[in-house]
Amino acid sequence: MKYLINENKLTETIESYILKNYPEVAKVYFTKQGVYLASDEFENEEDRSISRTTINIVLDNMDGKYKPHQLREMSTPIRRNVDSMFGLGVEEYGSKWGVHFRQLGIIDL
């Protein structure tokens, strides 16, 4: 059985899934951006321009216990699981979804 849900409900569900299953995630938020695709496979110029929703996932590193390579290693399974769970196709060319990771932490000035 398939369910039809709107984009608002989908983003809420994705956010809830990530926060529930990954305790190292401090926050999830979404941004939209216009993307111009460079491929020649489009007949119309209008078809080349898409709106991409980016899932911004903030990893909690306030206590500095993770090194940069550990944060990268943490991000891979999160990206893959979210992509496969919701069928977003973030690795596909022209996908309307993307994933970015950020770090919540204290830096020395």
For position 23, what pLDDT does the model report? 93
Residue (of 22, 90, 84) closest to 55 by Cα position: 90
In a domain, 1, yes or no: no
Domain total in the chain: 1
List, for residues 7-35, the tens digit of each pLDDT value: 788 899 999 999 999 999 999 999 999 88
The values of phi and psi at residue 63, to 5°, are -90, 0
Query: What is the domain extent for residue 91?
Result: 7-104
74 within a domain of the structure (yes/no): yes
Residue 35 burial class via C-beta count within 10 angstroms: exposed 0-12, middle 13-18, buried 19 and up: middle
Residue with the bigger pLDDT between 43 and 86: it is: 86
Residue at 2 is within a domain: no
Domain assignment present for 92 = yes
**pLDDT at position 42:** 63
Pairing of β 25-36 and β 49-60 = antiparallel
pTM of structure: 0.82
Residue 43: inside a domain: yes
Residue 94 belongs to some domain of the structure: yes
In a domain, 109, yes or no: no
